[in-house]
Amino acid sequence: MSLLDRRSILLAPLALAACGFTPVYGPGGSGSALRNRVLVDEPDDRNGYLLTREIEERLGRPSPARFGLAVTIATVEEGLAIDPAGNTTRFNLLGAADFALRDLQGGQIVTSGRVENFTGYSATGTTVATLASAQDAQERLMRILAEQIIARLYAAQIPA
């Protein structure tokens, strides 16, 4: 390792501190305001369950809850690739989630927003393989949406 590389590694934390960077889970970070304090509203379908599971895995289960998180999910499946026989062989799964974080003590909305993303899957195998691919795409999409929601929550000004 050259001397220049060592200097840049040693100076990187100083540069991050100078720009106002604070760790999410560090003292006073936005992660500590949300960790084990967010109660996600009960899901009513498989997508809701998958999204709630991902959010609770990252934020923890509340004890006691300070905030409530309401999420509304919408998904649409679109065919992408069609073979010469007219069969669709590839699908896109588009998803959007509207969310609102509310303070359970006062009832006011702390932050809200909308996140969107997509995943895809192939339908060229057997019926069972296609079904497994579709379910895997749903799980991946809900994981992506959950990560986006959490990133937005961390970026918001959450009261301690």
pLDDT digits (tens, 9 = 90+) for 75-105: 999 998 888 888 888 999 999 999 999 999 9
Mean pLDDT computed over 142-156: 96
pTM of the model: 0.80
Residue 5: is it exposed, middle or buried by C-beta count within 10 angstroms (0-12/13-18/19+)? exposed
Superfamily of the domain at 3-155: Lipoprotein like domain (3.30.160.150)
Lowest mean pLDDT among 11-15, 134-138, 153-157: 11-15
pLDDT digits (tens, 9 = 90+) for 15-61: 555 555 555 555 555 556 788 999 999 999 999 999 999 999 999 98
Spell out the domain ranges in the chain: 3-155
Report phi then psi at 88, rounded to 5.
Answer: -80, 125
Give the sheet arrangement for strand 88-103, strand by strand.
38-40, 67-82, 88-103, 109-122
Name the pLDDT band for 139 (thresholds 50, 70, 90).
very high
- The residues facing 7 across adjacent strands are none
Give every CB contact of residue 156 below 8 A, 6+ residues apart in sequence.
30, 101, 110, 111
